[in-house]
Amino acid sequence: MRSFFYVLTAMAVIGLAFWAYHENYETQAALDDTEQLQQSIGQARARLAVLKAEWAYLNRPDRLRELADLNYESLGLLPLAPEQFGKADQVAYPAHDSDLLVTTPVDVSSMEQSQ
pLDDT at 18: 95
Q: Is residue 24 part of a domain?
A: yes
Average pLDDT rounded to a whole number, residues 92-114: 69
Give the integer Cα–Cα distance in Å for 92 and 78: 24
Mean pLDDT value across the chain: 86
Q: Is residue 99 part of a domain?
A: no
> Residue 115: which pLDDT band, with cuts at 50, 70 and 90?
very low
Q: Is residue 19 part of a domain?
A: yes
**Domain span at residue 41?**
2-79
DSSP labels, 84-101: G---GGG--PPPPPGGGS
Q: Is residue 39 part of a domain?
A: yes
Q: Is residue 9 part of a domain?
A: yes
More confidently predicted of 114 and 10: 10
Give the integer Cα–Cα distance in Å for 24 and 31: 11
Q: Is residue 91 part of a domain?
A: no
pTM over 0.75: no
pLDDT at 75: 85
Query: In angstroms, how far apart are the furthest CA atoms of the chain?
Result: 103
Q: Is residue 92 part of a domain?
A: no
For the stretch 30-78, pLDDT in tens is 999 999 999 999 999 999 999 999 999 999 989 988 888 888 888 887 7
Give the integer Cα–Cα distance in Å for 112 and 105: 18
Number of structural domains, the chain? 1
Give the integer Cα–Cα distance in Å for 46 and 50: 6
pLDDT at 113: 55
pLDDT at 103: 72
Q: Is residue 98 part of a domain?
A: no
